């Protein structure tokens, strides 16, 4: 079973350093009984955008939120037996961008936007989890995950994510430059909400073209390339000295 860490337990992208989070791209998902039925049928779901003075996003399918995000919200509502009353609606507050800022002014931006700069933009992150094994032992694990959205839950903002099927060890990416993964599709396990501080760092992930639709490739970030190639040059040099 997968379970995210409590806020005071997490190892974040800042290694325990205090952070602040800035949110942008606010919208509201207003759920009535009619909208709930559309969600159940898998239809595109419109939201009310906080900033849309020219009404460009209204009645525009490009700005409908991710169907995966809708599935997660619907599943959570059904699990908690939450449905709109007759003539009433449920309003969910969401965001398309989260910026994590450390006290040293380091900034990391994550997007989860249905139509940004002319295309869908859903970032990936390396996410920190605590898992309970079959024997009851608590272990830490890190899952490459696609960010589907940022949703206000009670008084906190959480990231809605779709995790890979298996955890990934970062040293494998550092040693191999690229690593294949498969994203999970089990609604009970692979689609979860986590505190934003569980996002360890962003990932460069591309589709594994030629494979199935659930397969992706993690690419070593550019900031690590010099070390990667430097280590290989040094390794080849050391081999030549032994000849």
**Res 17: pLDDT:** 61
d(Cα 149, Cα 95) in Å, to the nearest integer? Answer: 7
Query: Quick one: average pLDDT of 199-218?
Result: 93
**Res 168: pLDDT:** 94
Indicate the number of domains in the chain: 1
In a domain, 236, yes or no: no
In a domain, 142, yes or no: yes
Return the SS3 of 239: helix
Return the SS3 of 166: coil
d(Cα 188, Cα 206) in Å, to the nearest integer? Answer: 25
The answer to whether the CB of 190 falls within 8 A of the CB of 162 is yes
Model confidence over 102-152: pLDDT tens digits? 877 788 999 999 999 999 999 999 999 988 878 888 889 999 999 999 999
Count of residues making up the chain: 243
Q: Which domain holds residue 153?
A: 2-229
168: tokens are: 């990934």
Model confidence over 38-97: pLDDT tens digits? 999 999 999 999 988 888 898 899 999 999 999 999 999 999 898 888 778 999 999 999
**Res 13: pLDDT:** 43
Strand intervals (E) in 25-177: 27-31, 48-49, 90-95, 97-102, 107-116, 119-122, 124-132, 138-153, 156-163
pLDDT band for position 9 (cuts 50, 70, 90): very low
In a domain, 234, yes or no: no
DSSP 223: G
Considering only residues 84 and 153, tell me which one the structure prediction assigns the higher pLDDT: 84
**Res 12: pLDDT:** 39
d(Cα 9, Cα 128) in Å, to the nearest integer? Answer: 10
Residue 184 neighbours by CB under 8 Å, 6+ apart: 162, 163, 164, 165, 190, 191
In a domain, 183, yes or no: yes
- Report the sign of the C-alpha dihedral through residues 184, 131, 112, 85, in that order: positive
The answer to whether the CB of 72 falls within 8 A of the CB of 171 is no
**Res 10: pLDDT:** 34
Helices (H), the chain: 33-40, 67-79, 170-176, 225-241
**Res 85: pLDDT:** 83
Query: Quick one: average pLDDT of 182-210?
Result: 93
Q: For residue 27, what are the CA distances in angstroms to 94, 122, 163?
A: 5, 16, 24
Query: Quick one: average pLDDT of 12-21?
Result: 62
**Res 236: pLDDT:** 78
In a domain, 238, yes or no: no
d(Cα 33, Cα 37) in Å, to the nearest integer? Answer: 6
In a domain, 129, yes or no: yes
CA angle centred on 115, ends 40 and 155, rounded to 5°: 65
In a domain, 176, yes or no: yes
Model confidence over 25-41: pLDDT tens digits? 999 999 999 999 999 99
């Amino acid at each position: 079973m997968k379970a995210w860490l409590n806020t005071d337990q997490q190892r974040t992208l800042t290694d325990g350093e205090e952070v602040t989070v800035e949110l942008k791209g606010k919208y509201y998902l207003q759920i009535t009984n009619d909208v709930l039925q559309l969600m159940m049928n898998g239809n595109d779901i419109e939201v009310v955008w906080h900033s849309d003075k020219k009404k460009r996003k209204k009645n525009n399918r490009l700005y409908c939120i991710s169907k995966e995000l809708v599935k997660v919200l619907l599943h959570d509502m059904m699990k908690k037996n939450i449905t709109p009353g007759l003539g009433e609606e449920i309003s969910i507050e969401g965001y398309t961008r989260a910026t994590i800022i450390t006290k040293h002014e380091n900034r990391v931006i994550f997007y989860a936007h249905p139509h940004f700069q002319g295309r869908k933009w859903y970032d990936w992150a390396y996410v920190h989890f605590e898992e309970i094994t079959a024997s009851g032992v608590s272990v830490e694990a890190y899952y490459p995950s696609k960010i589907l959205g940022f949703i206000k839950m009670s008084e906190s903002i959480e990231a809605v994510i779709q995790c890979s099927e298996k955890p990934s060890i970062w040293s494998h990416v550092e040693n191999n430059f690229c690593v294949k993964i498969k994203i999970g599709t089990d609604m009970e396990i692979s689609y979860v909400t986590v505190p934003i501080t569980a996002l360890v760092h962003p990932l460069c992930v591309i589709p594994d073209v030629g494979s199935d639709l659930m397969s992706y490739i993690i690419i070593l970030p550019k900031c690590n390339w010099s070390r990667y190639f430097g280590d290989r040059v040094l390794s080849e040099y050391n081999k030549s000295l032994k000849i």
